[in-house]
Amino acid sequence: MDRPVKTETIVLWLCVGVIAIAGLAPIATITIESFQQNGHFSLDYYRELISSARFWPLLGNSVRLALATTAVCGLIGVPAGILFAKSDLPLRFGSMWLLTVPFVLPPYFVALGWARVVARLGPNASDWLFGFGGCVLGLSSVFLPIAMLLTFASASNVDRRLEEAARLVSGWPGVLRQVTLPLSAQGIVFSLVLVFLLAMGELSVPSFLRYPVLPVLSFTQFTASYNFGAATAAAVPLAAIAFTGVFVESAFVRERNYRFRSTGQTLLIPLSRKRSGLAIVVAALCFVVVILPFGTLFADAFSPVAMHQALQRAGASIVRGITYSAVAATILMALGFLLGHAMLCRRRQLRSVNLLTLGLFAIPGSVLSIGLVRFWNTPNTWFIYATPALLILGYTAQYCAVTTRLSVAGLMMIPVSLDEAGRLSGAKWARRFLRISIPLSTRTLLCAWLVAYILCLRDVPIALMTAPPGADPLAARILTLMANGAPPMIASLCLIMAIASLIPLGILALAIPSQSPT
């Protein structure tokens, strides 16, 4: 007799189906195209790519840049996350959220801010910024919050009883080394993999700062040659590296699948004499990473004329950007939570779904967008193609990995015993999901929604390529207005964008550290 299909299996496959429609099918469409020339199977695009004199140096540059960015984020972000989660550093939450600001804005904002800083410093600084050093600075500023926040979250969730027990036999350095860091390793490794993947695929900062990287090659095929097959072929190495990163991360966490049981309180490391010194270091970091570039960028933004012009030019785009992002965030939150829940019930599928979502996350937005255009532009699917639905699908495919991971992390903190008790009392999956998982995950759901909203709002490539005519969101409009737009007006638009992103960041800041450290 056939075994009945479980509800969680159906949910899992429905969610995978949505991701397949949103991301996998478009990518498959253009991947097939990359293996065809004149309607016949051909490996010519790949042969040309590998034999191209520029391919290996560009790949080398990309890897070098991604490794350097990951190293800087690891060396600064991980200690900063631990410091903010575990110490009595003054103004630690304020500093942490201030350092998060570059991540919630489009990456080119940081590069633009630094370009304005060095314009005042002179040509020597300009020479340094426009190259490898400037790119590492820009990308590290943007991605530092990933390492910092995920370390903070992982370290905050370590059960204080374990640390208290360790504290009986060891000093704080030993506790951190033997208990806190190993128990936070999963989150830290994930954050570093994420930084590496994002730095590998990032185009706007390297192209603005004139450092040639592999995504530029793919991009050039789109812009200069209009050759979609060749452009997709050029993006394949990026996807391959992304998958390798995901494999490495999965292999690392396979044996370390902890279930945390947070007590809602965190032990604090008393910094005593080092308090002032560390506070100065953190303040200097905040100044260099946030205040200096953004202060310079926003310096001209407050003039009433510029603000009026900005609102006149982009008022509707602001509303659209917020609306699209809110709708996409709601879908991403629901999809990520359902997927996360179903994945925890069916752990065998965990790795495959992880691979799928992270692969889509790592694929450059411009490649995904071309795939979406190719796949959905048919007379019968105008209701998708000619409406914001296409943009929402793009966001869903690209950012589903983030909400799924956040949901899995949140769900893993719910004691298994609650679900088991529900199961023993005869509750079906759906009932346990509605009555146990959702009520205990309100903070997880809120965080997932806010993070998804911020990611969608700051996205540029998908917005630029898939927004319907006359309905572009703000991030895309700023970029198109930047060409010959008056600098004060652009500064005002950047400020408006920053406000639209920082309001949810403020809510996130209020939502996350609701557990008071003791």
In Å, how far are 158, 164, 240, 267, 335 from 103, measured between CA atoms?
25, 34, 25, 28, 23
DSSP line for 235-281 = HHHHHHHHHHHHHHHHHHHHT--------S----B--TTHHHHHHHH
Please say which residue, 143 or 219, places its beta carbon nearer to other proteins. Answer: 219
Shortest spacing between CB 137 and other proteins, in angstroms: 18
Shortest spacing between CB 83 and other proteins, in angstroms: 38
Please say which residue, 216 or 286, places its beta carbon nearer to other proteins. Answer: 216
SS3 87: strand
Q: Is-contact 143 198, C-beta < 8 A? A: yes
Phi, psi of 40 (to 5 degrees): -120, 155
Q: Count the neighbouring beta carbons within 10 Å of the beta carbon of residue 10.
A: 12
Q: Is-contact 307 301, C-beta < 8 A? A: yes
Q: Count the neighbouring beta carbons within 10 Å of the beta carbon of residue 379.
A: 6
Shortest spacing between CB 452 and other proteins, in angstroms: 23
Give burial (CB, 10 Å; 0-12/13-18/19+) of 371: buried
Shortest spacing between CB 433 and other proteins, in angstroms: 22
Q: Which of 174, 231, 105 is nearest to 502 (CA)?
A: 105
Please say which residue, 214 or 332, places its beta carbon nearer to other proteins. Answer: 214
Please say which residue, 272 or 484, places its beta carbon nearer to other proteins. Answer: 484
Please say which residue, 366 or 437, places its beta carbon nearer to other proteins. Answer: 366
Shortest spacing between CB 480 and other proteins, in angstroms: 4
Please say which residue, 272 or 380, places its beta carbon nearer to other proteins. Answer: 380
Please say which residue, 180 or 221, places its beta carbon nearer to other proteins. Answer: 221
What type of residue is 324? Y
Shortest spacing between CB 465 and other proteins, in angstroms: 6
The pair of structure tokens assigned to 177 is: 């080394």
Please say which residue, 287 or 382, places its beta carbon nearer to other proteins. Answer: 382
Shortest spacing between CB 288 and other proteins, in angstroms: 24
Cα(95)–Cα(124) distance, integer angstroms: 31
Residue with tokens 């314009």: 119
Please say which residue, 79 or 485, places its beta carbon nearer to other proteins. Answer: 485
Q: Is-contact 142 73, C-beta < 8 A? A: no
Which residues lie near other proteins (CB under 8 A)? 53-54, 58, 123, 207-208, 210, 212, 216-217, 219-220, 222-226, 228, 313, 366, 369-370, 373-374, 377-379, 383, 385-387, 461, 464-465, 467-472, 477, 479-486
Shortest spacing between CB 32 and other proteins, in angstroms: 15
Radius of gyration (Cα) for the chain, nearest Å?
A: 23
Shortest spacing between CB 224 and other proteins, in angstroms: 6
E-state strands within 119-225: none
